[in-house]
Amino acid sequence: MSLRYNIQGIDMILTTEYLNSHRTAKGAFTRKQVEALGIEWPPSRGWIKKAAGTEITEDQAKVFEEGKTYYNAGKGKATSKQLQSNVNFICKNIHHLTVDQIDQLIAAVYGESSVARKKREIQKIIESKRG
């Protein structure tokens, strides 16, 4: 599932296999990924077939691959006001969450490796709000 390299080894040729192997968990592509390939957002129907066989740089490939994990459910970027509102909602209602839900939330935001540390921090917050 890799890219094909041209003779110079500098540019890469896109394949449909490569593109499809970097879909999001929901089977789509993020705006960041599509734009990394030089395609306007939203992409037109058939853009994957059109992109297959074209060349991209290693930098574009890196942005495309990393863009898979970038997801913003709303249109455009979330504002600081929206983010603060979400954080406030979670803090206000955190005592209603189960430990498993807290673990999932932490893993989604910080990654699996940070779960234990963040869990301890959140447990302290919960205890202070309950007490």
Mean pLDDT is lowest, of 23-27, 50-54, 72-76, for: 72-76
pLDDT tens per residue across span 37-54: 999 999 999 999 999 999
Helices (H), 1-131: 16-21, 31-36, 47-51, 58-66, 80-93, 99-110, 115-130
Predicted pLDDT of residue 52 = 93
Q: Are the CB atoms for 22 and 10 separated by under 8 Å?
A: no
Q: Are the CB atoms for 102 and 124 separated by under 8 Å?
A: no
Query: Could you tell me the strand order of the sheet in which 4-5 lies?
Result: 4-5, 12-13, 55-56
